[in-house]
Each structure stands twice: as structure tokens, then as C-alpha cells.
């Protein structure tokens, strides 16, 4: 029996009969799968039995498992929450993953402020605000905001310390809370009406406005009645954008389609009996996943960050009783009220579900066609690049290197990898350069990173692209040829988008409209993005440490804990005392010190 089998058998024997989460690891120590279990002992052991590998994905994954860890939880609900968080953190290869590269905006109503504002944002924070969205059609979102501001004179300024009202007040576009022209109760009532509209409950507000208009007219307050009339007309115009149905309350209708190209979910958002929007999501999945598993994975990952959880989810198929009960309890904890999961067989809900399913199928078909078209174009670009460079066959793998620093400080290098003409982000690497730290020397930096990358002769590319001219190319070639490696290496100079080749005096300029040039530019830009992102992260970390040094009671451990917990100096600055206390090692006194320090700047 191998050492690997001995290790796994020993760990299997020690597994507890308790709920928890397990993490499967490969030979490199990477987490390749995260799962939850009601009884860890039974669930984890099932993977290593022959019957447990009936699912194709499991059969492929298990031979790659070199080790596993587990975390015991108090109950299965805690396991579900922890599983969701760990999947988002590690994005394991064999888990079903929600593709989250879309960053649709939300409308944020800052309810934590005395006089709230409304604006678009792409960040969801637990700051007491309400978020509405996401808005797939950004133009429609901005039109909604424009209409709301025509109806409600909401403030747009960020500060509330004006001595006198601005022009917005005089043209009746703002109530001027900045200069004390309106009390909090009156202003908050207006904000509550805005939330009604954004929730899709404009019919409730319309009834109120019509009653008020009638009363104003009866009391001969014709100017006020005319203003209310204009509000009613604008609201009715906004309501025309929503499709009326007769489902009571709020619900999300989830359609799911699957074929050989992948999985697509289509979600219809029903609010107060109206379809107020829709969105679709793509999932990355392994082979042989059933619909129940896909639905559970989507619900977990989508609603863990959703701005709003409705009272009902309408699903294409019922989940097992234990899964449905667990998800319902978890969703209820997020929503603060009961959430029901249903799989209708007839009636209006079934009609809505069929419509969502049909849309999901159409979108998946279109996505498959686009993916095939992209793949054809990418392969054609790779073939054309090989032709220009005089290569015998197209490069299946391309490595590209870039250097980033600020006058020699925080020097880093990136390596991005393209396979068959598309990004292979799992193969990206970043390096903190040591040989040139403190002084700008791109040549020495390029020599260091290529040596560190290729001295082990692993996963060699068919082509290497160096972001830079002859100097950077020469530094890389000296190292690569010194290691006895023969793959082609070219340099790309940004000024004229020209390629420098080994042993060639003249540069190669690809046609400006050539797909090969566009491919090289895309690769170079990706390497630059990856390098500069890492450089900015290190620079921000350095700046944060230097600033936090000035706060009494914040030593190295707390600095590191704050950085790890919040991820950026901006987030630490914006955090409230209770949020600061949640960082490991922070207490009430240190949290108050950090909070007071940044408020005094």
C-alpha cells in the first residue's frame, strides 16, 4: 500500500460521525473539491469505495486526491454556510461554480444616513443600506433613477453642511436637507416611497398619490395637485416597463437548461405580482451532474450574495426533503422571514417556470454558438501567428511575462498562459522580484523571473512572449538558452506594436487588422493587468502598514489581521467600530482607536 493510501486510510478511520465540511486536496496541496456532510464519516468514506465513483466526475477526481481535511460544525446548516463560503474562496476545480465575472450594478439607498441618497454601485456592503438589483440593462437603471429624481426631490450631494440651499432646491429638485430645510420624518417618508417603487410596489404608492391629488384639488391647492399629477404620470410610465402577472407576493422563478456545452440558469424576478426583471447565469460543471445538484449549487452561490431573497423560489424540480428543508432554513436566515421552495406542476406558476426554462434553453444555445465561434476565431489567430513567426505548427501553449514597479519599489513579475488562444488562469503565476528590488532594472528582473519559471523544466510552452523590446528579450534569451531550452521567444515593444525575434536585426510588424496582432496584444495586456494588480496590492499593503504604525495599540499582529480581514486600506477606513472588532485579535479599544484615527484625518 502506498504512502498516499496509508495516509488516507488513517484519516478515514478517524472521521467523526458529526456534520461538517470536507476539503479534498491534490498532490500540490490545492483544494480541488469542497463538500458538506450530515455525517462526515459516511460521506467522505463513500468517495473511496468503488460504488462511490459511479458519477463520472467523482471517478475522475478521486485518483487525484492525495489528502483531505475536514471541519466539524454544530449542525448541517452551519456546514451548508461554511461550504458556500469555502467554494467562493477557493473556487475548486471539481465543484459546480457560478461564473461571476459579470458585475451588474445595483441601486443603493443609504438608509443608514439621516437623509438617504440613491446611486448606482457594484459593491454590496453590510452598511445598513438597501440594495435593489442587479440591473442587467444599465441604461434602464439610469432611466429609472432619472424618473425617480423627477418624482422625488432627493438630495444628490454627499455632504450636509451647506449654509444655504443650492440651485437644486430653488428649482424644486431637492428638499435641501443640507441646510435644514426639511425634517427627517418628512424626508424619510419620501425615501420609503422610493423603496416601494424599487420593490415593484408602485401600485401602492399610486393609490396614495391619487388620494392626495384628489384632496389637494378639493381644497383648491391646484399647484400641489398638478405636482402630484405629474408624479402619478411618471410612476405610471415607470410601471409600463413591468409585466403584470397574478402571482401573489415576491418570487424568483428559476429555469435551468443543460447540454454538452454547459449549464444556464434563467431567473425571473417577480415582485408584488409583476415581473420586474430577469437575469441569466452560466455554471461550470463536471460530467454527470443531475438537476437537483445543479439547483442546490446555484441557489447556494447566488443567494449568498443576493441583495434580496424573496419569499418563494419556484424551481423546475423538487429537491429531496432534507435538502429543501435545509436550504429553506438557510434562505430564511438571510431574508429574515420564511422562504418557501416549490416545484409547480400546473397553473400560472408552471407557466412562468416554462417561460424561464424556454429562455434558459435559448440562451444556452446562443452561448454555445458564441463559444464555438470564439474558439474558431482563437484557433485561426494562433495559426496565423505561427505562420508570421515561421513556426512549424501553431503554439498550443503561450507564456507571456511582464514586469511592474514604481521607480524600482515593489518590483513584481507576472506570467500569464494562453492555451489554444484563450486564457488558462489556473496556470497564471506571479513573482516578487528580489534581484532588482530598490532600483529599476527590467533586464535583471526579466532574467530572474524566466530563471525561476523554467529551471525546473515543467509544463514548457511552445512560444514565449516577453513584454518589452530587445533588452528584455536579450535578458530572457540568455537565461532560457542557458538552460538548454529551444522554444521560440519573441519580444513585443509597445510603442509600435512590433515583434523582435531571436537573431533577427529587423522587427516584425503585423498588419494592424490582423487577428494574430490582436491575439498578441490581448496576451500582452493580460500580462500587464495581472502584474500591475499584484504590484498595487503590495504597494497598498506597504502604505497601509506605514499608516497603521501611527495608531496606538496596533502592532504587527493586528496590522496583519486587519489587512487579511478587510483586504484594502479603503475598506479599513470605511469600517465602523463593530466591523473593526470582527477582525481577529481586535477588541473594543483597538477598534475605537482605528475608527477615531481615520475619522480625524
The predicted-structure confidence for 437-478, as pLDDT tens digits, reads as follows 667 788 999 999 999 999 988 889 999 999 988 899 999 999
CA gyration radius for the chain?
A: 29
pLDDT digits (tens, 9 = 90+) for 238-259: 555 554 455 567 899 999 998 8
Question: What average pLDDT does this structure show over 137-151?
Answer: 76
Any residues with CB less than 8 A from the CB of 484 and at least 6 apart, and which? Answer: none
Say yes or no to pLDDT of 38 above 70.
yes
Q: Report angle CA 467, 470, 475 to the nearest 5 degrees.
A: 80
Task: Answer yes or no: is pLDDT of 2 > 70.
Answer: no
Cα separations (Å) of 214 from 201, 221, 224, 226?
Answer: 21, 10, 10, 10
Q: What pLDDT does residue 387 have?
A: 95
Q: Which three cell numbers stand for residue 268?
A: 425571473
Q: What is the pTM of this model?
A: 0.64
Give the range among 36-40, 183-187, 384-388, 481-485 with minimum mean pLDDT: 183-187
**What is the structure's pLDDT at 384?**
96
**124: pLDDT strictly greater than 80:** no
Instruction: Write down the pLDDT at residue 50.
Output: 65
What does the pLDDT read at residue 545?
A: 59
Residues 6+ apart with CB under 8 A from 152: 190, 193, 194
Question: In this model, does residue 287 exceed pLDDT 70?
Answer: no
Instruction: For the chain, give the number of residues.
Output: 601
Cell numbers given for 430: 506571479
**Does residue 101 have a pLDDT over 70?**
no
- Give the separation between CA 80 and CA 331, rounded to whole angstroms: 11
Burial of 290 (0-12, 13-18, 19+ CB in 10 A): exposed
- Return d(Cα 558, Cα 168) in angstroms, integer: 46
Sign of the C-alpha dihedral computed for residues 423, 424, 426 and 428 taken in this order: negative
Spatial neighbors of 185 by CB under 8 A, at least 6 apart, are none
Give the helix/strand (H/E) hosting 67.
strand 67-72
Which grid cell is 571? 475598506
Helix, strand, or coil (residue 322): helix
pLDDT of residue 472: 92
| Contact partners, residue 324, CB within 8 Å, separation at least 6 | 318, 341
Alpha-carbon distance of 399 to 492, in angstroms, equals: 13
| Percent of the chain topping pLDDT 70 | 91
Grouping H, G, I as helix, E, B as strand and the rest as coil, residue 493 is strand
Q: What is the DSSP string of 522-571?
A: HHHHHHHHHHHHHHHHHHHHHHHHHHHTTSTT--HHHHHHHHHHH-SHHH
Instruction: Specify the range with the lowest mean pLDDT, choosing from 28-42, 195-209, 370-384, 466-480.
Output: 195-209
As a whole-number percent, the residues of the chain with pLDDT over 90 amount to: 34
Average pLDDT of the residues in 73-97: 88
Beta strands 340-342 and 243-244 are unpaired
Nearest to 138 by CA among 232, 273, 258, 277: 277
Task: Write down the pLDDT at residue 389.
Answer: 94
Sequence-ordered list of residues with C-beta below 8 angstroms from that of 334, at least 6 positions apart, any chain:
303, 304, 306, 309
DSSP 108: E
Distance CA 130, CA 340 (A): 22
Q: Among candidates 566, 567, 579, which has minimal Cα distance to 128?
A: 579
pLDDT category of residue 1 using cuts at 50, 70 and 90: very low
| Helix 76-90, helix 321-335: angle, nearest 10 | 80
Mean pLDDT of the region 376-400? 95
Window from 262-266, 473-477, 522-526 with minimum mean pLDDT? 262-266
In the predicted model, what is the mean pLDDT of residues 48-66?
Answer: 78
Q: What spatial distance separates the first Cα and last Cα of the chain, rounded to whole Å?
A: 64
- Residue 577's Cα: distance from chain center in Å? 26
What is the DSSP code string of 216-265? HHHTT-HHHHHHHHHHHHHHHHHHTTSEE----S-EEEEEEEEETTEEEE
Conformational region of residue 77, where left means phi above 0, alpha means psi within -120 to 50, and beta covers everything else: alpha
Strands 243-244, 274-284: parallel, antiparallel or unpaired by DSSP?
A: antiparallel
For residue 53, pLDDT over 90 is answered with no
Peptide bond into 397 cis (omega under 30): no
What is the per-residue pLDDT across 526-578, written as a single tens digit (0 to 9) for each? 999 999 988 888 776 666 556 777 788 888 888 888 878 887 777 888 888 88
Amino acid at each position: 500500500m502506498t504512502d498516499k493510501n496509508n495516509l488516507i486510510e488513517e484519516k478515514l478511520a478517524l472521521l467523526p460521525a458529526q456534520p461538517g465540511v470536507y476539503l479534498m486536496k491534490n498532490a500540490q496541496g490545492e483544494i480541488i473539491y469542497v463538500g458538506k456532510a450530515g455525517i462526515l464519516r459516511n460521506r467522505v468514506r463513500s468517495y473511496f469505495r468503488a460504488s462511490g465513483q459511479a458519477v463520472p466526475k467523482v471517478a475522475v477526481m478521486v485518483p487525484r486526491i492525495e489528502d483531505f481535511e475536514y471541519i466539524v460544525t454544530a449542525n448541517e446548516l452551519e456546514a451548508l454556510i461554511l461550504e458556500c463560503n469555502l467554494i467562493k474562496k477557493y473556487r475548486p476545480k471539481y465543484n459546480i461554480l457560478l461564473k461571476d465575472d459579470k458585475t451588474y450594478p445595483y441601486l443603493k439607498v443609504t438608509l443608514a444616513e439621516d437623509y438617504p441618497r440613491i446611486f448606482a454601485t457594484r459593491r454590496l456592503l453590510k452598511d445598513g443600506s438597501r440594495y435593489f438589483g442587479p440591473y442587467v440593462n444599465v441604461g434602464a437603471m439610469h432611466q429609472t433613477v432619472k424618473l425617480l429624481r423627477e418624482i422625488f426631490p432627493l438630495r444628490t450631494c454627499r455632504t450636509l453642511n451647506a449654509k444655504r440651499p443650492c440651485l437644486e432646491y430653488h428649482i424644486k429638485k431637492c428638499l435641501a436637507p443640507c441646510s435644514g430645510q426639511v425634517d427627517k420624518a418628512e424626508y424619510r417618508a419620501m425615501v420609503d416611497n422610493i423603496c416601494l417603487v424599487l420593490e415593484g410596489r408602485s401600485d401602492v404608492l399610486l393609490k396614495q398619490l391619487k388620494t392626495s391629488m384628489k384632496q389637494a384639488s378639493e381644497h383648491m391647492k391646484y399647484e400641489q395637485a398638478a405636482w402630484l399629477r405629474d408624479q402619478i404620470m411618471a410612476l405610471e410610465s415607470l410601471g409600463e416597463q413591468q409585466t403584470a402577472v397574478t402571482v401573489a407576493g415576491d418570487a424568483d422563478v428559476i429555469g435551468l437548461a443543460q447540454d454538452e456545452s454547459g449549464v444556464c440558469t434563467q431567473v425571473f424576478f417577480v415582485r408584488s405580482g409583476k415581473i420586474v426583471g430577469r437575469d441569466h447565469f452560466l455554471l461550470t460543471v463536471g460530467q454527470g451532474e443531475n438537476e437537483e445538484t445543479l439547483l442546490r449549487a446555484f441557489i447556494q452561490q447566488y443567494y449568498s450574495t443576493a441583495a434580496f431573497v424573496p419569499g418563494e423560489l419556484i424551481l423546475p424540480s423538487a429537491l429531496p426533503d432534507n435538502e429543501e428543508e435545509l436550504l429553506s432554513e438557510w434562505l430564511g436566515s438571510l431574508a429574515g422571514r420564511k422562504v418557501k421552495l416549490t416545484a409547480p406542476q400546473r397553473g400560472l406558476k408552471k407557466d412562468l417556470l416554462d417561460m424561464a426554462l424556454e429562455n434558459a434553453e435559448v440562451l444556452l444555445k446562443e452561448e454555445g454558438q458564441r463559444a464555438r465561434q470564439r474558439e474558431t476565431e482563437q484557433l485561426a489567430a494562433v495559426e496565423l501567428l505561427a505562420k508570421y513567426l515561421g513556426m512549424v505548427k501553431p503554439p498550443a501553449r503561450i507564456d507571456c511575462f511582464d514586469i511592474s514597479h514604481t521607480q524600482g519599489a515593489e518590483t513584481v513579475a507576472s506570467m500569464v498562459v494562453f492555451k489554444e488562444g484563450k486564457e488558462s488562469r489556473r496556470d497564471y503565476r506571479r513573482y516578487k522580484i528580489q534581484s532588482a528590488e530598490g532600483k529599476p532594472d527590467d533586464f535583471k528582473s526579466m532574467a530572474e523571473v524566466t530563471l525561476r519559471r523554467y529551471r525546473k523544466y515543467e509544463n514548457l510552452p511552445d512560444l514565449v512572449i516577453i513584454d518589452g523590446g530587445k533588452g528584455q528579450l536579450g535578458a530572457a534569451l540568455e537565461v532560457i538558452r542557458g538552460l538548454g531550452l529551444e522554444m521560440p521567444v519573441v519580444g513585443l515593444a509597445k510603442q509600435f506594436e512590433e515583434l523582435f525575434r531571436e537573431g533577427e536585426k529587423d522587427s516584425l510588424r503585423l498588419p494592424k487588422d490582423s487577428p494574430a496582432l490582436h491575439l498578441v496584444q490581448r496576451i500582452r495586456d493580460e500580462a500587464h493587468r495581472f502584474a500591475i494588480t499584484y504590484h498595487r496590492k503590495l504597494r497598498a499593503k506597504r502604505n497601509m502598514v506605514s499608516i497603521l504604525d501611527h495608531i496606538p495599540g496596533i502592532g504587527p499582529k493586528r496590522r496583519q489581521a486587519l489587512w487579511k480581514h478587510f483586504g484594502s486600506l479603503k475598506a479599513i477606513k470605511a469600517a465602523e467600530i463593530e466591523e473593526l472588532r470582527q477582525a481577529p485579535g481586535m477588541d473594543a479599544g483597538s477598534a475605537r482607536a482605528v475608527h477615531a484615527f481615520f475619522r480625524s484625518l
